[in-house]
Structure formats: structure tokens, C-alpha cells
Amino acid sequence: MTDVQQAALMESTTPGLVVAVEARELRKHFKVPDRKKGRFGRKTRVALDGVSLTIARGETVAILGQNGSGKSTLVRLLSTLLLPDGGSASIFGHDVVADARAVRRLVNRVSVEASFFKKMSSAENLSYAARYYGMTSGQTRDRIPEILTRVGFPKDRRGESMENLSRGMQQKVALARALLTSPVVLLLDEPTTGLDPRSKLEVQEFIREIRTAHDATILLCTHDLTEAENLAERVGILDRGRLLVLEPADELKRRYGAATLEEAFFAATGREFEAEGDEDDDDDREVFA
């Protein structure tokens, strides 16, 4: 943890109170085109409809939801990439709107569409990120190779440009980048979606390791029921912008009298949990954040 992060944490944490992430009645809507209303017609699409949750320091919470249920919107709001239309959220007591700078120091987001300088290598991308976060070259010299080794990134490919790497490898670099600055809160937005089974297991193993070694608080949005069950202390179901439940997987199953998480999901939402890679209704999106 850096001094700045430590300071940001100290300001906010009262002893005994260890709330890392808090959302209260969080709302977000988007104006999207509505062709029924003519060429310039618009309608409101509700992405988050009053989501409240609390995540304790050191806890891992998984959020399960279909495509379009609001997972990425939640992650973007918590990482200050979007502004809420209602409600509030805070990270270690720092409001994501009023105190966005402090929040950015504590939070790191890894998303499916991780962005890199495609012509640069993994090591170059990491050192760019390190400089952006104010690390000195002395600090990064050992840290970058060390962290790439820890995510299982092969030594002989570190000079290769990002665009030549598989999705699995790119995702490992994205995780390595997130860990570089030892974030206190990790927001993982479908970190294993689209990965082959082996890379998926490697990334999951790595997430497990981060939990224990880094004292990180993790919000894991996922499409993978097993991943949610194996990695998280509590599992939430997000459906059409509403968080229906958030509790340990066993209690969740018990609540719905379900043998599996998939059955519980069906019981909670009235809908099948669709397989990864099903169509997204993202065509009329206007901004990508």
C-alpha cells in the first residue's frame, strides 16, 4: 500500500468500522434512441434501479446477472467513471462523486474490454500505468517483472506487443496492472469471460491469491456461477438493475430451496441463467466508459 493510499484510508476508517464499499439506493439511467418516437425519439433506459449494498474490508462479493442487468454500470459508478442519477456510493467513506480523487486512489477496475496501448508490450504498458500512478522507476524496476511472473505471464513474451497476445494473456496483464499499485478495492468486471478453460482457471487462482496476499476487497461481477460460488463469501443477484439478494451461496440456495446456484437464480429472477456470450442489447449505446 502506498503512503497516499494509507492516508486516504486513515482519514476515513474509524477503528472497528470496516465498510469498504457502500452503495445506497444507487440509480443510473441512460437516454437511448427510440425509433417508435421518430428519428430523434428518445427513451429512458434504467440501468440501475436503487441498488444498496455494503462490502466489508477484505471481503469478496460476487454479483451474478444476465447481460444488461447493470453489472458494468455498478462497477463504473463505483470507480467514478460514471455519475449516479440518484443515491450515493462511497469507498472507505469517500463519496464517489464529492471525493472522486480519493476514490480513484483506492479502487482499481479490471474489465472485459481492458484497454492497452496495442503496439506496446505488456511490460511497457505496465510501466506506463505505474508512472501514471506516480510510482518512480526505482519502484517499478523489480515490481513489474515480479508481478508479471506472479500472474503467470511467460518471460519470453514480455517484449511482444499486446495485439499479438491471446485474450487470456491480455487479461493476465490487465490483472497485473491492477495489482501494480496494490489497490485496496478491486472491481473485477467479468475478468474471465471469453477465456479458454485453462486461462480461466489460472485467472481464478490468481484472484484467490490476491484475496489472501493483498488484503484486498473484491467486487467480482461474473457470468460464471461456479466462479461466484468458489471465490466469493457472498453472492448477489442483479436483475434488471435491482439487487434481489446478497448472501452466502449456501444461504441463497437454501432460501430458494435450490440444489444449485443456477436453480436459485431461476427461482429468484424467473429467468434462466443464460450461457456466456449470449447477445447483448448494447447496439444503441452511445458512450463506452
Q: Which residues make up the interface to ligand ADP (CB under 6 A)?
A: 30, 32, 45, 47, 65, 67-73, 281-282, 285-287
Stretch touching Mg ion by CB under 5 A, among 72-80, 144-152, 177-185, 195-203: 72-80
Chain-centre distance for alpha carbon 71: 8
Residue 287 binds which of Mg ion, ligand ADP, none (CB < 5-8 A, kind-dependent) = ligand ADP
DSSP secondary-structure letter at 164?
A: G
Rule CB under 5 A: say whether 111 interacts with Mg ion.
no
Residues 6+ apart with CB under 8 A from 140: 126, 127, 130, 131, 180
Helix (H) or strand (E) holding 19: strand 19-33
- Closest-CA residue to 216 (of 191, 247, 181, 259): 181
Stretch touching Mg ion by CB under 5 A, among 44-52, 65-73, 147-155, 157-165: 65-73
Rule CB under 5 A: say whether 72 interacts with Mg ion.
yes
Q: Which residues of 128-138 are buried (b: 16+ CB within 10 A; e: fewer)?
A: ebbeebebeee
Rank residues 82 and 176 by Cβ distance to ligand ADP and give the closer one.
82
Chain position whose Cβ is nearest to Mg ion: 72
Stretch touching Mg ion by CB under 5 A, among 6-14, 67-75, 206-214, 228-236: 67-75
Rank residues 58 and 68 by Cβ distance to ligand ADP and give the closer one.
68
The distance in angstroms from the start CA to the end CA of the chain is: 27
Rank residues 69 and 204 by Cβ distance to Mg ion and give the closer one.
69
Please work out, in degrees rounded to the nearest 5, the angle formed at the alpha carbon of residue 173 by the alpha carbons of 118 and 116.
25
C-alpha dist (Å) from residue 132 to 23, 104, 114, 127, 157? 28, 12, 16, 8, 24
Rank residues 205 and 280 by Cβ distance to ligand ADP and give the closer one.
280
Residue 35 binds which of ligand ADP, Mg ion, none (CB < 5-8 A, kind-dependent) = none
C-alpha dist (Å) from residue 18 to 8, 58, 100, 199, 268? 14, 9, 20, 33, 29
Q: C-beta of 54: minimal distance to Mg ion in Å?
A: 22
Between 161 and 190, how does the x/- string for binding to Mg ion read (CB under 5 A)?
------------------------------
Rule CB under 5 A: say whether 192 interacts with Mg ion.
no
In terms of Cβ atoms closer than 10 Å to its own Cβ (0-12, 13-18, 19+), residue 110 is buried
Rank residues 214 and 242 by Cβ distance to ligand ADP and give the closer one.
242
Q: C-beta of 60: minimal distance to Mg ion in Å?
A: 19
CB of 8 closer than 8 Å to CB of 94:
yes
Rank residues 72 and 122 by Cβ distance to Mg ion and give the closer one.
72
Q: Which residues bind Mg ion (CB under 5 A)?
A: 71-72
